[in-house]
Each structure stands twice: as structure tokens, then as C-alpha cells.
Amino acid sequence: KNEVEQSPQNLTAQEGEFITINCSYSVGISALHWLQQHPGGGIVSLFMLSSGKKKHGRLIATINIQEKHSSLHITASHPRDSAVYICAVLGGNAGNMLTFGGGTRLMVKP
Amino acid sequence: NAGVTQTPKFRILKIGQSMTLQCTQDMNHNYMYWYRQDPGMGLKLIYYSVGAGITDKGEVPNGYNVSRSTTEDFPLRLELAAPSQTSVYFCASSQGGYTFGSGTRLTVV
């Protein structure tokens, strides 16, 4: 079993829909990151969370430390949101290294 | 601030050739990393560094070398390129938050 599990692996939505991507982890963490990667593109850090909720524009990220679960929500989705979304956790190791989930490939159709 | 700068963006190498992928950050981050990403796959850690003069192997270090003579620079060296090293390479730095470079797409033919 992977330490970081994301669901769904693939997601297709219509423009305007509310989208939720889930991340569960099995290890103790000091922080959780949500990353975005557009096709053929670089990797952008969307959020870093250690508790509660953060919002940036149409993106909302939440984390429940007790349940070891985080969600990324996209409101009023748009085709430009089409990308791979990656959950990654920071476990407090000496190298400050991330453990990555397998990613969720999102396609938003107009 | 430029963040994390990687060069080159694209490169084609012949089998057996050598090259260095450059990575520079201007955020004074202690931690730096090299990842590779194969098509349709996740990121795999090649090498990392917790500060100048200190480097350590990640998950897939074979065929690569690194150095960290300054806080800013973390070059990745391929000595004898092999087709299995065809991949997209990402450099990242961290001091709490993570910042990724834009990637280097390497093809070995």
C-alpha cells in the first residue's frame, strides 16, 4: 500500500462543475502540499497545509490531521484547470523530502 | 526573484555522451533536489542536498552525480548517457515550501 493515495486517478468534468480531489496518507506528517502540472509543463505548488483550510481564487484545500486526509476543491471549473494534481506529504525526515501521491489527471471540457 | 532556474530546457544526447544539467536558486534555500519524471509516471528522487557541501542519494541515483559547492547551485551530471535516462528532469528547492524549476526534457538516442 502506498503511503500517499489519491483519488480519483482520472477525472473528467464539464466546465462550471465543482471538483473534489482526495488524498489520504498513512504516515505522520508535518505538512501537505498540493501541486499542479499542466501537460508538458512545469510543476507549481498550489498550497502547503499543516492544518485547517486555505483558499486561493477558485481553489480550496482542506486537511484533517486526525483522519489523515486532505481534499482539493475547484469551484466553477474551467478548461484551463485541466492538469495533473499531485498530493505530496512532508514527513519531517532529515532531508525535508516529499512523498508523492500518484496524481489525479483532470480534464475539464467546455 | 527568479526562483529555481534550470538549463537547458531541451537536450538530445547520443548514447555515451556526458552532460550537466544546471540548477540555480536565488531564495537561499538549504534543501535542493533532483527528480526525474518518466512519461505518465510520478516524480522519482535522484539526489538531494541539505546544504552546501552535503549531498545524498535518493531513490534512483545510478548513472548520475551531483555536487553542491554553493547554496545556490546544484548541478546534475550524467557521465555516460543511456536511453533509460530519457526523461524530464526537475530541480526543486525547499525551505518549508517547495519551488520547482521548469524542467529539462532530455532524450538519449
Closest CA to A44 of A72, A84, A2, A7: A84
Q: B11: which DSSP letter?
A: E
Q: Do A95 and B43 touch (CB under 8 A)?
A: no
Nearest CA-CA distance, residue B32 and chain A, Å:
9
Closest CA to B4 of B23, B31, B28: B23
Q: What is the pLDDT of residues B15-47, one digit of tens each?
A: 999 999 999 999 999 999 999 998 878 899 999
Identity of the residue numbered B9: K
Residue A97: list chain B partners with CB under 8 A: 33, 45, 48, 58
Q: Residue B65 burial (CB < 10 Å; 0-12/13-18/19+)?
A: middle
Nearest CA-CA distance, residue A76 and chain B, Å:
27
Which of A97, A99, A100, A104 to mutate to test binding with chain B, by most B CBs within 10 Å of its CB?
A97
- Please give the residue of chain A at the shortest CA–CA distance from B3: A44
Instruction: Report angle CA B9, B12, B17 to the nearest 5 degrees.
Output: 120
Q: Do B50 and A96 touch (CB under 8 A)?
A: yes
Closest CA to B100 of A71, A43, A93, A74: A43
Q: Which helix (H) or strand (E) holds A42?
A: none
Residue B91: list chain A partners with CB under 8 A: none
Annotate A47-79 with b (16+ C-beta within 10 A) or e (fewer). bbbeeeeeeeeebbbbbeeeebebbbbbeebee
Reading chain A (110 residues) residue by residue, the pLDDT tens digits are 578 999 999 999 999 999 999 999 998 888 999 999 998 888 999 999 999 999 999 999 999 999 999 999 999 999 999 999 999 998 767 778 899 999 999 999 99
Q: B70: which DSSP letter?
A: S
User: Which residue intervals of chain B are DSSP H helices?
Assistant: none
* CB pairs A-B closer than 8 Å: 46
Cell 534550470, residue? B6
Q: Does B82 touch chain A (CB under 8 A)?
A: no
